[in-house]
Structure 1
């Protein structure tokens, strides 16, 4: 009986020791009340988040964070974005704040979108309280900015205004592109829309420049007016990415004057109208 009592007391003491240790690991790292902005990148799992929180001085035990997130089912619900956390938060307060979602969110704007499509991207992600007002403001501010809204992945607060967003996109354009003539930007927008891979962009740019120099109509499907009129459209038709912009700055010479894409997206070049017509028959008219 005495041995049993000793064993029970030992187990109780062990349990209390473990409990006290675990409890101590849930307490705030410090009494510091200054905010820390904690960034979670896309694709970051709970394990990496835990390690980063530890390195940032926001939690004591990455192991407890991982265990809690796993067994509570929250590990798969972590959202990418920026969080405002404090070192005087307990472990459970940190988890609660992360579970609420970020104060800033990632928005990816792919290459080749028009300003109307970009506005819808932001509306879908940010979900502003008055989407119609947001849309109208965005389109009014970007009235003469087509082509300059740089495609990229941006981090914005949920309540970001159209002006804040547009200023950031224009600043990114200035940073990554710099000075460029309107004519080259228009050409870059055509190349962006006419091509499907990075490898073909400089070649297609070279073909279109050859047509311009020879005073041919450009005849690009993405800008129907180029079938009737010589020269470039008056303004960019979309917002090109950096690779398309570089393609028009350094176009690649080739013997080709024509090109088309088959139903699988593969490009086929031709040196003469006769070769091009054969490609049309082979790749577009046959099933």
Structure 2
């Protein structure tokens, strides 16, 4: 008969109780760690104020994590690296410029980087700039890359507001401006008024560029267009000062002095005081309003206009009436000069 005896129940309980307590401790620690990790993942981040950062192309998850930690978007690069590994998003993070909001969580940061919803920038190109001036404007626009060569012909770019993202090329913006001008002409040309003195879309753009430079008052553009249409029909010279300025500067920018009598005699096909009809091409890039005015000018008998001192112009049907308007403008100009001198 065996002499082995089972352990007393009390002795077994002494062994089981410490083991159970240790297991509970491990579970508590694991639960606490999971809770802490979840808080680090979903809780508010350290960023105190909204901030924009550019994530460079080719950046890996480690580089991105260090950049965001250095900028105070996340507390530690390891928070973002571990979270990216667990959600298997390391290969889905996209480059670009992002807007990070104050207190953004690691979870929200990764959601944003995976979405590719980068900051949308915009550049507004004013009407009446030459293509060279537009390229200078784009050169100073942050976030755009590359250069544009050759310089696009004047009159081929439509001034508007264009949206872009960090890293887009200037050439791409210019191509969009060219396409916008082609599209605008294709839509406007069929609806032109009958009997216009311009016979091609290119001529329309040339005349529109002159109208654009002659007045900044939108309501006046159809009336100015009517004046030039009347002159062209009668075979009169356009006599537009902006065409002389373009001839003198080559479209590089504004003239840094007033025009002189010698300038009006300049031998250039762009000088409409000397040359008949339209100049060889546009002197600027006109906007939609000037294009519309050119193709649907106001019907009237005006042949002349001059500044009226209020930002607009005084119009006249006869040279005699025009000379009176000129005299009135010179008086206003002289008075304004005296007031400025005082």
TM-score by length of 2: 0.53
2:217 and 2:311 in contact (8 A); partners too: no
Q: How many residues align?
A: 211
Q: Answer yes or no: is 1:241 the counterpart of 2:283.
A: no
- CA 1:271–1:157: 2 relative to 1, 3 Å: same
1:27 is matched with 42
Q: Distance in 2 between matches of 1:26 and 1:184?
A: 61
Alignment partner of 1:223: what SS?
A: helix
Rounded Cα–Cα distance in structure 2 between residues aligned with 1:165 and 1:274: 48
Unaligned runs of 5+ in 1: 1-19, 29-63
Classify the secondary structure of the residue corresponding to 1:125.
coil
The correspondence for 1:148, drawn from 151, 156, 161, is: 156
284 and 95 in structure 1: CA distance in 2 versus 1, 3 angstrom threshold? farther
Aligned equivalents of 1:200, 1:241: Cα separation in 2: 14
1:28-177 correspondence runs (5 A): 72=48, 74=50, 90=106, 93=109, 104-126=120-142, 134=147, 137-138=148-149, 140-142=150-152, 145-177=153-185
**Against the structure 1 CA distance between its residues 210 and 92, is the aligned structure 2 distance closer, same or farther, given a 3 Å change threshold?**
same
Give 1:234 shift.
0.4
2:203 is aligned with 1:183: yes
- Once structures 1 and 2 are overlaid, which stretch shifts more, 165-174 or 216-225? 165-174
In structure 2, list runs of 5 or more residues that go unmatched: 1-34, 54-95, 190-199, 245-270, 336-342
User: Are 1:275 and 2:275 matched, yes or no?
Assistant: no
- Of 203-212 and 102-111, more deviation after overlay is shown by 102-111
Max Rg structure: 2
Q: Which runs of 4+ in 1 moved over 6 A?
A: 23-26, 94-97
Q: In structure 1, which of residues 252, 260, 267 is the aligned counterpart of residue 298 of structure 2?
A: 252
Matches of 2:287 and 2:216, distance apart in 1: 12
1:202 and 1:252 in contact (8 A); partners too: yes
Counterpart in 2 of 1:10? none
1:221, CA displacement in angstroms?
1.0
Taking only aligned residues, the RMSD between alpha carbons, in angstroms, comes to 3.6
Deviates more, 1:104-113 or 1:174-183: 174-183
Q: Distance in 1 between matches of 2:224 and 2:40?
A: 61
Matches within 5 A, 1:190-269: 190-224=210-244, 225-269=271-315
- C-alpha distance in structure 1 between counterparts of 2:39 and 2:142, whole Å: 38
Q: SS where residue 285 of structure 2 aligns?
A: coil
| C-alpha contact (below 8 Å) 1:126/1:159 kept by paired residues | no
- Give the drift of 1:260: 1.4
State the Cα deviation string for residues 184-236 of structure 1 (Å, max 9, x = none): 11001011111121211111111101101111110011112001111001000
Taking structure 1 as the reference length, the TM-score comes to: 0.63
CA contact (8 A) 1:147 1:189 kept: yes
1:110-161 alpha-carbon deviations (Å, 9 max, x no partner): 11110111011111113667xxx82xx34x141xx31110111111233333
> How far apart in 2 are the matches of 1:147 and 1:95?
44
